[in-house]
């Protein structure tokens, strides 16, 4: 069964409220995405395996620990790019693999336009980054690509999600782990999350149409 965690933390609630606000400017929006990505990554990496090593301190030697697994950070372009740097700050040795997907507004189905995943030597854990889990189409495409690559542990990190998107992933990827800041009410007729926060990509990169 899919493992779903909505991070219940005062800092998440505080930053998410400002992220949702329609008057939050792009620079602040990007900063909030990064702060929330750190909090999500902290939760999502709690079960990573470590190996014990010996560390020389200025006074003596002591036991320490290092990450034992290869970690892949997989942002879904373009909105997922805003979550990459804070995750890399936590895991500097992680590999970054980009997947380009956009939603066809007429069909609400994902369209892949970029993928450079190799054909062999998969990472041990993939952290898929996408601020919004709406219908689940883009996330499902990304998880399917990583599964074909042979990644054994799949984790999706999203800021907000609709119940419909969670249900879609639970049905198709029961082995996946989903980490969220909030589960919203529903999708509207245009397949946008309600109450949501608008289009995360447009708000991050200041590409909201002037007549919107």
DSSP string, 101-124: EEEETTTTEEEEEEE---SS---S
Structure tokens at 121: 């030597």
Stretch (H or E) spanning 127: strand 125-129
Q: Does 107 participate in catalysis according to the annotation?
A: yes
List alpha helices for the chain, DSSP H.
10-20, 26-44, 84-90, 137-149, 163-172, 200-205
- Cβ distance 99 to 112 under 8 Å? yes
Q: Among residues 89, 107, 148, 207, which one is catalytic?
A: 107
Q: Among residues 20, 70, 124, 202, which one is catalytic?
A: 202
Q: How far, in Å, are 14, 15, 62, 66, 198 from residue 20 at the CA level?
A: 11, 9, 46, 37, 8
Q: Does 62 participate in catalysis according to the annotation?
A: no
- Cβ distance 182 to 196 under 8 Å? no
Catalytic residues: 103, 107, 199, 202
């Amino acid at each position: 069964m899919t493992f779903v965690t909505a991070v219940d933390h005062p800092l998440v609630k505080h930053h998410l409220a400002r992220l949702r606000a329609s008057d939050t400017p792009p620079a602040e929006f990007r900063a909030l995405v990064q702060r929330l990505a750190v909090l999500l990554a902290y939760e999502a990496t709690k079960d990573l395996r470590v190996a014990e090593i010996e560390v020389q301190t200025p006074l003596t030697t002591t036991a320490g620990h290092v990450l034992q697994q290869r970690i892949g950070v997989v942002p879904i372009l373009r909105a997922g790019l805003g979550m990459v740097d804070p995750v890399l700050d936590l895991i500097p040795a992680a590999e970054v693999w980009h997947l380009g997907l956009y939603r066809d507004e007429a069909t609400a189905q994902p369209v892949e336009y970029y993928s450079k995943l190799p054909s062999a030597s998969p990472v041990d854990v993939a952290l898929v980054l996408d601020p919004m889990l709406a219908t689940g189409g883009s996330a499902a495409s990304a998880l399917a690509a990583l599964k074909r690559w042979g990644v054994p542990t799949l984790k999706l990190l999203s800021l907000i999600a609709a119940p419909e998107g969670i249900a879609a992933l639970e049905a198709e990827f029961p082995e996946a782990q989903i980490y969220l800041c909030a589960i919203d009410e529903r999708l509207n007729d245009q397949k946008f999350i309600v109450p949501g926060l608008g289009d995360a990509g447009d708000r991050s990169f200041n590409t909201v149409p002037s007549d919107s």
